Structure 1
Amino acid sequence: MPVSPERERFRELAAAGYRYIPLYSELLNDAETPVTLFVKLTKGTGRFLLESVEQGYQRSRYSFIGWHPLLTLKATGSLLTVSEKEGSFQINGEPLAEIYQQLSALRVAPLPELDPFFGGAVGYIGYDYVRQIYQLPPPTGPVLGMPDLYWVVPEYLVRFDHIAHRITIILLARVDTNDFDGAYEQARRKLTRIIDRFDRKIRPVPLPNTLKGEKPATRTTLLARHQFVDLVERAKEHIQAGEVKQVVLSQRISQKYSGDPFLFYRVLRSLNPSPYLFYLDFDGFKLAGSSPETMVRLTDGLVTLKPIAGTRPRGATAAEDRRLRQELLADEKEQAEHQILVDLGQQELNRVCQAGSIRATERMAVESYSHVMHLVTTLQGELLPSLSGYDLLRAVFPAGTLSGAPKKRALEIIETLEPLRREFYGGCVGYLGFNGNLDTCITIRTVLFHGRKAHLQVGAGIVAASDPEKEYEETLNKAAALLTALEQAGAGGWS
């Protein structure tokens, strides 16, 4: 089986002092999907699947599967726990900065032919990381007990190139300074064993109308309709007082779940294909989502931000869909809400991008998903050469579309109005590459599987013209695809 880099280049990279060298093999792919290989190749915790579907239901170029972490990085507050094969240790400090330090300390050889992503950390930053950036009141309310940050660095990564129809299997080979050839051969054998597992078979998922089960599980919310409406009224008082222009309020929905979380993911990706589809199987919980919104992306110095604000439900017919689309484009309240968050995004990029480089490549376009449609603007700029992905993430976190504007005061209002910590909701999921690239989505349209329960959270942007009842209905529209997928995947007791 041919592998790259060849032995001589491997020796050169090893002699240059790199601790890990990506060894990879490319295969023509006309038979496998990311889902089939995730099932065939991965096991245990610390595995993940990242997929993407662009508008028009066309698959984006890359999907990624990773497993068998070399490092696991978990932080709560300012305490980061680093776990590796040899054991674990803890570091006190700014956790995201420490995660970047740990990635750098691995000293992974760069292979430009494998860009944009050939390895690094994959995971999430929870909303409560915001306390590392802003001074906020102490957290209150019930908690699910998730770490604020959780990232894994996989030994194995499979990259699907859906345009070239190729699969690249990448292994981070540990360099043995006493035996470069032995390290190379050991990595070759590991790659061969991975390819041997392609022969496993998996069963297709029955369509929902062929599944037989009990009634869907009872759902619970911490906020009844009248309570959410009251929160919206209180938020509007802050807006009318001139403290903020917009603030995002959310509610959590929980229910028992006895099915397979990965089956939920498979149903969700079919029901609601989105630019960011992800399944994280981590220690103690699983996170599955279909997020429509980029938080921030960095590719070879180019920064991309895509604020989404302004929502309508999908129509029952094509004619109704067109009517709702035009209604959304003509709605002054939705346009004003959207522009507030575009302006916030531009202000935040101004702090980290080169002067004069920021531009809107797409403005107030309508993107449609299974149950809702949104207004979307795309902003791009060139990152200052002196800054890194770490600086960029801190500049834009949490997303304005999940907090409000001005952001600092909106965050304070959220703390006083919402009755629980957001934890996973409103943070981000994605990858931090060894090469400095990153791609993250906002953690929305996402379900957390923890214990024997499924938790999801949905929000609405509140402005001066908001109708509290309509804002409540908007949260239900955003939850619809997730709740449908839970029912179809077995929330009521299907095996």
Structure 2
Amino acid sequence: MNEYSFSYRPEFPNWKQKLISWANNHFDYLALFQGNGYEYPEKPFQDSLFVGNTQLTEEELWNDQRNITKVGILGYDLKNQIEKLDSENLAPFNLPDLCFFTPELSFSFQGNLIKSKTTLPNTFWKQVENTTIEEGSTSCSFKRQTTKEEYIATVKKIQEYIIEGETYEMNYCQSFEGSFEQWDPLTAFFRLQATSPMPFASLFKAKHQWLVSASPERFIKRNHLRLIGQPIKGTIRRGATEEDDRLNKERLLASEKERAENLMITDLTRNDLSKVSEIGSVKVDELFGVYALPRVFQMITTVSSTLKEEASLKEIIHATFPMGSMTGAPKIRTMKLIEQLESFKRGWFSGAIGWINESGDFDFSVVIRSIIADFEHKKLYFGVGSAITIDSDPVQEYEECELKSQAIREVLNGRNQS
């Protein structure tokens, strides 16, 4: 990101919550990113906040000549503009495939130091200090849209498709949907942070629609001409003791099934990056890296390449989106099967959120472990999935989904969970 030239060290408590509450009160668009201090390959999200009132058109987003910061979401169903695909499943509410704004104010955080790109008067910080923080409700009545029996039957159907050669691996997802009268996305974000801090956490507001995300996964990052993809495939729960942790980590690393899942998506990522990269520049920096998160170990592979100088933002996104970890392989045929077998329209779930700076560098995470809410409809949903291969055990895959969605379900503390 470009330099943040002006610094301020707040002397009042809860300054970050107050700044975000102030921003929510004054702007239609808001995006908060947190890396939570992780030692993550290629670094986690830079802690930052962007706020503004100006949504970008699609033409403005893809215009590489406009040297402005662009912040927002690529919805999963953008795939239909990239390939000859469709999304006919029902959605709890409609979401734009592209939702980007350009910020009027940008901040970065380093410990208790706030940096901004513009100098701000002391009256501004006095307003922030005087902002009232109200602890809102995060409870919501929600219900899974796929029963355990339906889930297991679908996994078996996917394995039949694998035997028939239709797909090698599919990221099959299920959704939970809820409704509310009062629900506070800011409180939900900070409670989710306390419950499950992640290297790619984000909070996003687009008028009446919100994303609350505790994502562990990077989609794609650009640093000058270096392009980086980091697919996650391979999950095992954390142990109750250090010894359990060590054994579980070793089990994940030694699992032929998990390594096969990861390798298939690694190859897909290499192929995607090669479409916009210099010939022979794509390389695997780390294969099968196992990293500890609050509740799980994840197997992460880092792939990088040298970008062609003439490659545009639109060309890069169209070559790599959606990320292979959320589709499977081969990508296009598998996305058609996903549409056939899943029971919901993914919308923002399994899309990407991030920012593009004035020089064209960017960083995007995968929208997973995330709550998506609409305050006009007073509805929310979240999705969860896992990679299905021929070696998958349907019951174990169901249990993996339960583990991945546990933190969100705890924050929502919903009723009618079935």
Task: Give the TM-score normalised by structure 1.
Answer: 0.76
Distance change >3 Å, CA 126–CA 41, structure 1 → 2: closer
* Residue pairs, 1:151-230, within 5 angstroms: 151-162=100-111, 166-171=113-118, 191=121, 193-200=123-130, 217-230=140-153
Question: 1:99 is matched with which residue: 61, 68, 89?
Answer: 61
Highest Rg: 1 or 2?
Answer: 1
In the alignment, what sits opposite 2:325? 401
CA distance in 2, matches of 1:393, 1:198: 37
Letter paired with 2:98: L
Structure 2 counterpart SS, 1:316? coil
Contact 1:169 1:191 in 2 (8 A): no
CA distance in 2, matches of 1:142, 1:60: 31
Contact 1:140 1:419 in 2 (8 A): yes
Q: Deviations over 1:211-259 (max 9, x none)?
A: xx99x65431221111111111111111111122101110001223433
Contact 1:388 1:436 in 2 (8 A): no
Residue 196 of structure 1, CA deviation: 3.7
Question: 2:96 is matched with which residue: 140, 147, 158?
Answer: 147
CA distance in 2, matches of 1:390, 1:100: 6
Residue 202 of structure 1, CA deviation: 5.2
Structure 2 counterpart SS, 1:62? coil
Letter paired with 1:270: A
Between stretches 314-323 and 50-59, larger displacement belongs to: 50-59
Contact 1:370 1:481 in 2 (8 A): no
CA distance in 2, matches of 1:40, 1:419: 38
* Match status 1:463 vs 2:389: yes
User: Structure 2: any 5+ residue segments left out of the alignment?
Assistant: none
CA distance in 2, matches of 1:286, 1:388: 29
User: Structure 1: any 5+ residue segments left out of the alignment?
Assistant: 1-20, 74-81, 83-94, 109-118, 172-187, 207-212
Question: 1:125 is matched with which residue: 59, 71, 74?
Answer: 74
In the alignment, what sits opposite 2:6? 25
Residue 197 of structure 1, CA deviation: 2.9
CA distance in 2, matches of 1:33, 1:276: 21
In the alignment, what sits opposite 1:66? 50
Structure 2 counterpart SS, 1:55? coil
In the alignment, what sits opposite 2:406? 480
Contact 1:309 1:375 in 2 (8 A): yes
Question: 1:420 is matched with which residue: 340, 344, 350?
Answer: 344
Contact 1:248 1:461 in 2 (8 A): yes
* Match status 1:53 vs 2:36: yes
Contact 2:92 2:379 in 1 (8 A): no
CA distance in 1, matches of 2:251, 2:46: 34
In the alignment, what sits opposite 2:373? 449
In the alignment, what sits opposite 2:361? 437
Between stretches 367-376 and 25-34, larger displacement belongs to: 25-34
CA distance in 1, matches of 2:93, 2:279: 42
Letter paired with 2:288: M
Residue 45 of structure 1, CA deviation: 2.2
Q: Deviations over 1:313-332 (max 9, x none)?
A: 22233222222111111111
Q: Deviations over 1:330-384 (max 9, x none)?
A: 1111111111011111111111112232222222111222222210111111111
Q: Deviations over 1:56-102 (max 9, x none)?
A: 69995832112232x213xxxxxxxx4xxxxxxxxxxxx4x55222x
* Match status 1:35 vs 2:12: no
In the alignment, what sits opposite 2:291? 367
Contact 1:156 1:169 in 2 (8 A): yes
Residue 54 of structure 1, CA deviation: 4.5
Contact 1:389 1:438 in 2 (8 A): no
Higher relative contact order (Cα pairs below 8 Å, separated by 6+ residues): 2
CA distance in 1, matches of 2:140, 2:32: 27
Distance change >3 Å, CA 254–CA 138, structure 1 → 2: closer
Between stretches 49-58 and 411-420, larger displacement belongs to: 49-58
